[in-house]
Amino acid sequence: MGCSSVLGSYLDPLGDKALVGCVVGALAAQGALPIWVATLIIGRWVHVQLTTCVVHTGIGGSSSLSPLYGQPSQAHLKKGETMLLS
């Protein structure tokens, strides 16, 4: 429909991550998914979110909450990867 809202831009990615987290957690709890795979999936998400927050607040100086819930921009992600690799 082409409609969008600020609230929706925060809630949609957050809902996607919550759904994937619940499915991964449930599969790991029942033994259908090895714990190390679940840890890798959840750990990757946490790593990307934390890196984006550090880069966004450290370099951009902005206090926006968008990196916590939305996908990081490519520029922020590349800067974050550069920081981690150096």
pLDDT per residue over 24-79, tens digit each? 999 999 999 999 999 999 999 888 888 887 777 765 455 454 544 455 555 555 54
* Pair 24, 38: CB distance under 8 Å: yes
Would residue 1 count as lying in a domain?
no
Is the model more confident about 11 or about 77? 11
The domain tally of the chain equals 1
- What's the pLDDT score for residue 83? 45
Would residue 14 count as lying in a domain?
yes
Q: What is the 3-state secondary structure (H, E, C) of 16-69?
A: HHHHHHHHHHHHHHCCCCCHHHHHHHHHHHHHHHHHHHHHHHHHHCCCCCHHHH
- What's the pLDDT score for residue 30? 96
What gap in Å lies between CA 50 and CA 57, rounded to an integer? 11
Would residue 31 count as lying in a domain?
yes
Q: Taken in order 10, 78, 20, 2, is the CA torsion positive or negative? A: positive
Give the structural domain span for 72. 6-85
Would residue 34 count as lying in a domain?
yes
- What's the pLDDT score for residue 70? 52
pTM: 0.56
